[in-house]
Amino acid sequence: MSIADEAEKLVNGAPIPLTADPLKKLPEFPMKAMPECLAGAAIEVARFDKVPVESPATIALSMLATAIGKSAVIEERDGLDHFPALFFCLIAASGERKSPPFKRLQHPFIRYIEDMQDRYNALLFDAEANNAVVNSRIKRLHKDAEKAEGSLERQDISRQISQLRVELQPLPMHPRRFTSDYTEQVLFKLMEQHGGEYSIQSGEGRPVIDSILGKYSGDGRTGDGTILAGISGDTITRDRVGSAESGGQEHGVILHPCLNVCVMIQPDKYLQAARHPSLRASGALARIFPVWLPSLVGSRMEELDEKGLKRSALTGFNAMVRSLLEVEREEPHRVTLSSEAAEHRRQFHNAIEKMMGSDGDYSDVRDIASKATSQTVKLALILHVAMKPGVLLQDQSELSVDTMKRASALGYYFLEQAVASQRSADEDNALAPARRVLEWMIREREANGKERFAFSDIQQRSPRPRPSAKELTVIMAVLLDHRQIYALETEGKHPDYLLRGDADAK
């Protein structure tokens, strides 16, 4: 059948809609749910850096969660406790100013390191000096044991060695509580050294996602095990062949981990992870809160005599994070839900559970939706402490229904982001580029009256990233199959394409 015959055939059939882009129906960030000190800081950073407020608002939540760490735990239900361990992933293309808001809201952590460095160095020197003396005495006793003639003498030396080992001092924890580049083995050691409490923070998170994808493992396996357990609070163990100094084996265990992650990455890297079947199967993706940041490129105009950064707007946030970093508790502060908050949580859970049914809106993303309630309760703990930071000086407190409602608003926002992200990742790889080209063709018609497009014109002028000839051939085949365009014969290698009058990118 000729191209002309194909075009004639298409006239008699209505266009087949391209599936709507899930990422174009994202909810608005619920700023009213944010505590005043967090909202004020986020709004000011967004204004000054000219970024969407979702960016600093989400970063602020993660920084606060990291600062709380294992100082507080929330009881979702009897027998179900959570530390505020969450994985936030902010997604935006290059040039969208991802790093500036990250650096501003990470500032209290940097300042804490600077202020604590001298004290840490002094404590480290004292501990190392003490341990050097003790180890020297132990070494001499080992030599004496080799020369001992009887078992009684060796037993006496053994008791002396045991007594000396008690005098060994643990090395102080470094004031830095985050890493931006790591291997899974090193992350385990960092968490172990800090009592299971640590964070991954990066304004350029590609290496973090690469590590999760297993790029540096060398054995083809993903590297999400420690992160997955650290966020879910599951026990992490490490048993492996070690160095000669360690006796040939290394053993470690983290019983109650609390790992927070906040990274900013480009869309291609997130979608690479979201399309990885092992990460989906392991539950790692279901525990990520992705946030697709709207683009402000082209509208970030600077006004005459524009005000500089109002640092006072960040004072409350900085002071709160600093005070939380300085909290020292033998047992975590325990937060329980009031009866009204517990009822609101139950209704929130049941509503999501219903939508996970076979005919529900979340039937295709049950792995993500099933984690939403517990993730939301973790958010409630963060909000609770943010509104009452002095509460950590007490042994326990009660979460109000107002705080639970705020958390559920945030939880729903992040759930919808995660659902849209996964659906977008699951979409046919050719469909999204086809939709992007069709939208451009429709805009060209509306703006310039253009209806006929040469293959080369599409390849050179369509939105970036521009497709190769091979990719564009697939894209145009998709649009032909969906009856959005006609193919018109030319003398060249490729046909021209005529946009249908009733073409619809939606």
- Domain extent at residue 437: 3-18+429-499
Q: Please give the average per-residue pLDDT across 177-186, as a whole number.
A: 91
Among residues of the chain, what percentage have pLDDT more than 70?
94
- Is 289 a domain residue? no
User: 466 phi and psi, to 5 degrees?
Assistant: -75, 140
- Is 495 a domain residue? yes
User: In whole numbers, what is the pLDDT of the chain averaged over residues?
Assistant: 91
Q: Could you give the angle at the alpha carbon of 360 between the alpha carbons of 357 and 361, nearest 5°?
A: 135
- Is 275 a domain residue? no
Nearest-angstrom CA–CA distance, 375 and 405 = 14
Tens-digit pLDDT profile for residues 430-451: 788 898 899 999 999 999 999 9
- Is 472 a domain residue? yes
- Encoded tokens for 269: 């890297």
- Is 413 a domain residue? no
Q: How many domains does the chain have?
A: 1
Q: What single-letter amino acid sits at 143?
A: K
- DSSP three-state, residue 496: strand
Is the C-alpha dihedral spanning 357, 361, 366, 368 positive or negative? negative
Tens-digit pLDDT profile for residues 296-337: 999 999 999 999 999 999 999 999 999 999 999 999 999 999
With residues binned 3-state (H G I as helix, E B as strand, rest as coil), the percentages for the chain, rounded to 5, are 55, 15, 30
The CB density around residue 12, as the number of other CB atoms within 10 Å, is 7
Tens-digit pLDDT profile for residues 258-309: 999 999 999 989 988 998 888 888 888 999 999 999 999 999 999 999 999 9
- Is 482 a domain residue? yes
- Encoded tokens for 229: 């357990």
Which candidate, 34, 33, 31, 35, places its Cα nearest to that of 387? 35
For residue 407, what are the contacts with CB-CB under 8 A and spacing of at least 6? Answer: 33, 376, 377, 379, 380, 383
pLDDT category at 19 given cuts 50, 70, 90 is confident
Q: Please give the average per-residue pLDDT across 190-204, as a whole number.
A: 95
User: Is a pLDDT exceeding 60 seen at residue 247?
Assistant: no
- Is 14 a domain residue? yes
Burial class (CB in 10 A: 0-12, 13-18, 19+), 163: exposed
Q: pTM of the full predicted structure?
A: 0.83
Which candidate, 373, 371, 363, places its Cα nearest to that of 423? 363
Nearest-angstrom CA–CA distance, 391 and 160 = 46
Q: Which domain CATH number covers 456?
A: 1.10.10
User: Is a pLDDT exceeding 70 seen at residue 339?
Assistant: yes
- Is 131 a domain residue? no
- DSSP three-state, residue 355: helix
Q: What single-letter amino acid sits at 235?
A: T
Which of the pair, 94 or 12, is modelled with greater confidence? 94
